[in-house]
């Protein structure tokens, strides 16, 4: 039997057209993906630029600021990745990853492989890997592929741009290809029905990322007989169903559309052998978790132990690791890179700038970039902003001022989003203004510069955003516009920069020292940078598991609640009195510490998904009311609605959550995660 689960055609018809293809035929999708001969790809060298670091805090002269700061600019040549100034750089160079420390935990960890040839991925897949000029595995691939091929579950944390996609795709393709060849020999036809029953499911948080994974997997499935399909929201389901009808072994999906098609009985998960969650921490944060739990636990998917589960991300906060461990069985935890190590490839700069001066600084940076660019071309630059509205407004303003720009955000329809990506990738609009919808996973070649026009609210978001440059061994530049509003991020930003051997401006250290609003905020502002360690090693972990340790009202010394919790980082914790803590679903953080309550309310804390923050210094990420603090209704939120992460009164955010004042988690309805 083949791995095909969906069969609309006549019984006995073989689905794999690939078997009848001309030997050596390379389809167009694969052809254009092969990189050009590196020898022919020697481009222009930029003149070296003078390096200077003007201290700019707290200077409020827009012109002065802007003029001072462009001196620091260092942009890599998009083709050769040759830097224009001071800094070491080179063409694609995976040796940049060679010294990265790697840590594994769990029992009986299979040894890493040094080359693809050493790994038994199968002849056809190995040939495709060679064709794509993947000369040697990246560190995450060296470790993750043997682990995965041995059938073990895996939670893997590795730097942005370090090849995680192939790390989970190759073993899946290889093992399905093997099973198909046996089945084809034995049976000669496909089993199927009117329901697509894939053998592997890859879930990702955004439509664009799903498309990208689909393309990548498809490329490597060439002539293996393994079929890949993708389903995601915003595109006609009919077309996707037609594709599924041709047969699918590996399904790439966003959660919303997948649930829809399962509920319409067009997809069954009953035969899933491999489950991969890309950007796994995101998938289990920000309100995805209920959907993921539904897919994994309530939709007929074989349970942990009978399927293989792999979770990948560049960031993995402990609370999320705990949630994720529900989906895993006897897993290996793999972390590639001492925290911050490979982001040394990304030169990070932070500029202090008031909100009113940001545009002027941006224009000066862009002009300097262009002046240094190859043949006066604007290098590809990704500009992140906080809200959809500001993305539109900045894009229009840039265009009016002679900078060809496009934008991508959740209010644009799918064809517009795809068109924006295309025109950015090909350089027709070398500037793209984006919200966080483009922050994770997107692999856009030759992005030379990421500008955080508005910094994200958490350090994980920063890691992923800047990771859109400096990928696959190339260097890149990331500039952060830091304003007073970003004060809570200062400490974590400094830690991250130090870990990646970046120069931290003195004014930023001063800022961090002056920040005294309640301790380290380990979820949103402190922890969770890439790397990290296996939470199972955490000595502080409550002994009785994530639902609390000592009694029905919860665990640890400082908490209670129906799900209890431990002393710190309680995923389901109740009320926290004092201390620094994370409570992912918990009620109130009361007291002195800087508490994060991802799904609850509380005083002096961050409430990601609603509830009421009563007291000062509150962030409400996804709705709910902050009473006190900056303003009534929603501090750090966009009261008029339309904010990307905003809650506030009657607003719809980037991810299409309809939130109402003070709405609790249950009242928030996700409508756009598809």
User: With left for phi above 0 and alpha for psi between -120 and 50, is residue 473 left, alpha or beta?
Assistant: left
Between 271 and 465, CB nearer to ligand ATP:
465
By CB under 6 A, tell whether 112 contacts ligand ATP: no
Cβ neighbours of residue 64 closer than 8 Å, sequence gap 6 or more: none
Tokens of 560: 């209670």
* CB 522, min distance to ligand ATP, A: 21
State how far Cα 38 lies from the chain centre. 29
| Binding test (CB under 6 A) with ligand ATP, winner from 5, 62, 112, 137 | 137
User: CA 160 to CA 262: how far, in whole Å?
Assistant: 32
Per CB under 6 A, which of residues 190..249 are in contact with ligand ATP?
none
534 contacts 105 by C-beta, under 8 angstroms: yes
| Binding test (CB under 6 A) with ligand ATP, winner from 49, 128, 162, 342 | 162
Please work out the total of residues on this chain that contact ligand ATP, with binding judged by CB under 6 A. Answer: 19
* Other beta carbons within 10 Å of 360: 17
422 contacts 395 by C-beta, under 8 angstroms: no
- Cβ-proximal residue to ligand ATP, closest one: 163
By CB under 6 A, tell whether 163 contacts ligand ATP: yes
| Binding test (CB under 6 A) with ligand ATP, winner from 84, 104, 128, 160 | 160
Between 164 and 184, CB nearer to ligand ATP:
164
By CB under 6 A, tell whether 573 contacts ligand ATP: no
Go through the chain and tell me how many residues it has.
674
Between 368 and 437, CB nearer to ligand ATP:
437
Between 192 and 467, CB nearer to ligand ATP:
467
Tokens of 46: 């930029």
Q: Which range binds ligand ATP by CB under 6 A, 163-171, 298-306, 409-417, 602-610?
A: 163-171
Between 312 and 657, CB nearer to ligand ATP:
312
598 contacts 611 by C-beta, under 8 angstroms: no
221 contacts 228 by C-beta, under 8 angstroms: yes
* CB 320, min distance to ligand ATP, A: 15
The kind and range of the H/E element at 627 are strand 625-627
* Other beta carbons within 10 Å of 42: 12
Between 190 and 309, CB nearer to ligand ATP:
309
* CB 261, min distance to ligand ATP, A: 25
What would the x/- binding string for ligand ATP be over residues 282 to 321, using CB under 6 A? --------------------------------x-------
Residue-by-residue DSSP string for 529-544: -SS---GGG-TTS-TT
By CB under 6 A, tell whether 476 contacts ligand ATP: no
Per CB under 6 A, which of residues 76..105 are in contact with ligand ATP?
94
| Binding test (CB under 6 A) with ligand ATP, winner from 253, 472, 588, 595 | 472
By CB under 6 A, tell whether 584 contacts ligand ATP: no
What would the x/- binding string for ligand ATP be over residues 423 to 462, using CB under 6 A? ------------------x-x-------------------
- 520: exposed, middle or buried (C-beta count within 10 Å: 0-12, 13-18, 19+)? middle
First to last CA, the chain: 32
* Other beta carbons within 10 Å of 479: 24
By CB under 6 A, tell whether 364 contacts ligand ATP: no
State how far Cα 584 lies from the chain centre. 19
Which residue shows structure tokens 């999906």? 253
State how far Cα 482 lies from the chain centre. 22
The kind and range of the H/E element at 262 are helix 255-263
Q: Which range binds ligand ATP by CB under 6 A, 158-166, 411-419, 479-487, 655-663?
A: 158-166
* Other beta carbons within 10 Å of 633: 18
* CB 372, min distance to ligand ATP, A: 24
| Binding test (CB under 6 A) with ligand ATP, winner from 78, 161, 548, 565 | 161
Between 94 and 397, CB nearer to ligand ATP:
94
Between 6 and 166, CB nearer to ligand ATP:
166
Q: Which range binds ligand ATP by CB under 6 A, 54-62, 131-139, 332-340, 665-673?
A: 131-139
DSSP summary character for residue 645: S
* CB 559, min distance to ligand ATP, A: 33
| Binding test (CB under 6 A) with ligand ATP, winner from 271, 471, 521, 558 | 471
* CB 138, min distance to ligand ATP, A: 5
User: CA 483 to CA 364: how far, in whole Å?
Assistant: 18
Cβ neighbours of residue 380 closer than 8 Å, sequence gap 6 or more: 78, 424, 425, 427, 430, 432, 444, 446, 447, 448, 449
Cβ neighbours of residue 393 closer than 8 Å, sequence gap 6 or more: none
Parallel, antiparallel or unpaired: strands 228-231 and 250-253:
parallel
Between 134 and 560, CB nearer to ligand ATP:
134
Between 219 and 558, CB nearer to ligand ATP:
219
Residue of 52, 69, 57 whose CA lies nearest to 354: 57
For residue 422, report the phi and psi dihedrals to the nearest 5 degrees.
-60, -45
By CB under 6 A, tell whether 469 contacts ligand ATP: no
Sheet holding 619-620, edge to edge: 581-583, 595-597, 605-607, 619-620
By CB under 6 A, tell whether 281 contacts ligand ATP: no
For residue 344, report the phi and psi dihedrals to the nearest 5 degrees.
-60, -20
* CB 569, min distance to ligand ATP, A: 23
Q: Which range binds ligand ATP by CB under 6 A, 159-167, 321-329, 374-382, 666-674?
A: 159-167
Between 405 and 466, CB nearer to ligand ATP:
466
Between 391 and 466, CB nearer to ligand ATP:
466
* CB 322, min distance to ligand ATP, A: 21
| Binding test (CB under 6 A) with ligand ATP, winner from 134, 170, 331, 511 | 134
Residue of 479, 502, 512 whose CA lies nearest to 69: 479
Question: Given the rule CB under 6 A, which residues bind ligand ATP?
Answer: 94, 134, 137-138, 141, 158, 160-166, 314, 441, 443, 467, 471-472
């Amino acid at each position: 039997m083949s791995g095909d689960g969906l069969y609309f055609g006549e019984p006995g018809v073989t689905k794999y057209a690939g078997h009848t293809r001309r030997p050596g035929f390379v389809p167009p999708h694969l052809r254009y993906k092969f990189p050009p001969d590196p020898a022919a790809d020697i481009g222009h060298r930029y003149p070296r630029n003078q390096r200077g670091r003007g201290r700019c805090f707290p200077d409020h002269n827009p012109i002065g600021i802007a003029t001072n700061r462009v001196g620091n600019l260092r942009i890599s040549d998009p083709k050769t990745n040759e830097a224009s100034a001071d800094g070491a750089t080179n063409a694609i160079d995976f040796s940049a990853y060679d010294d990265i420390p790697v840590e594994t935990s769990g029992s009986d960890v299979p040894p890493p492989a040094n080359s693809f040839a050493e790994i038994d991925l199968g002849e056809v897949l190995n040939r495709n890997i060679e064709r794509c000029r993947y000369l040697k595995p990246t560190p995450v691939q060296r470790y993750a592929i043997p682990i995965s091929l041995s059938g073990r579950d895996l939670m893997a944390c590795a730097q942005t741009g370090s090849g995680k996609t192939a790390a989970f795709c190759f073993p899946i393709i290889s093992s399905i290809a093997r099973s198909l060849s046996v089945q084809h020999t034995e049976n000669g036809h496909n089993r199927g029905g009117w329901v697509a029953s894939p053998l592997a499911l890859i879930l990702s948080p955004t439509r664009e990322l799903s498309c990208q994974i689909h393309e990548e997997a498809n490329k490597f499935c060439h002539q293996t007989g393994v079929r890949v399909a993708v389903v995601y929201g915003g595109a006609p389901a009919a077309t996707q169903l037609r594709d599924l009808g041709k047969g699918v072994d590996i399904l790439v999906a966003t959660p919303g559309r997948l649930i829809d098609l399962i509920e319409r009985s067009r997809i069954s998960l009953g035969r899933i052998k491999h489950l991969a969650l890309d950007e796994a921490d995101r998938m289990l944060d920000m309100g995805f978790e209920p959907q993921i739990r539904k897919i994994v636990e309530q939709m007929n998917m074989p349970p942990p132990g009978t399927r293989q589960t792999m979770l990948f991300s560049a960031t993995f906060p402990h609370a999320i690791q705990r949630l994720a461990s529900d989906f895993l069985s006897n897993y290996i935890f793999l972390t590639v890179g001492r925290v911050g190590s490979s982001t040394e490839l990304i030169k990070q700069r932070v500029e202090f700038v008031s909100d009113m001066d940001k545009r002027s600084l941006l224009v000066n940076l862009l002009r300097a970039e262009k002046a240094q660019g190859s043949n006066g071309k604007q290098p590809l630059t990704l500009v992140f902003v906080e809200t959809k509205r500001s993305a539109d407004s900045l894009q229009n303003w840039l265009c009016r001022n002679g900078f060809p720009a496009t934008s991508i955000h959740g209010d644009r329809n799918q064809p517009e989003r795809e068109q924006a990506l295309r025109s950015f990738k090909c350089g027709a609009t070398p500037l793209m203004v984006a919200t966080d919808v483009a922050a994770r996973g997107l692999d856009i070649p030759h992005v030379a510069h990421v500008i955080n026009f508005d910094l994200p609210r958490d350090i994980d978001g920063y890691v992923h955003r800047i990771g859109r440059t400096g990928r696959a061994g190339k260097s890149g530049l990331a500039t952060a516009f830091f304003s007073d509003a970003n004060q809570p991020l200062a400490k974590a930003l400094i830690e991250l920069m130090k870990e990646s051997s970046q120069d931290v401006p003195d004014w930023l250290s001063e800022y961090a020292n002056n920040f005294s609003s309640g301790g380290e905020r380990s979820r949103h502002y402190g922890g969770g940078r890439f790397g990290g360690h296996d939470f199972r090693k955490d000595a502080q972990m409550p002994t009785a598991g994530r639902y609390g340790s000592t009694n029905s009202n919860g665990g640890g010394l400082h908490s209670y609640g129906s799900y209890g919790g431990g002393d710190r980082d309680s995923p389901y914790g109740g009320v926290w009195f004092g201390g620094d803590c994370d409570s992912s679903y918990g009620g109130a953080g009361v007291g002195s510490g800087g508490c994060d309550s991802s799904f609850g309310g509380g005083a002096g804390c961050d409430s990601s998904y609603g509830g009421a923050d009563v007291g000062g210094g509150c962030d409400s990420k996804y709705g709910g009311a902050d009473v006190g603090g900056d303003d009534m209704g929603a501090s750090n939120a966009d009261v008029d609605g339309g904010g990307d992460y905003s809650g506030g009164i009657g607003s719809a955010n980037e991810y299409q959550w309809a939130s109402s004042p003070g709405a609790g988690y249950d009242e928030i309805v996700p409508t756009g995660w598809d």
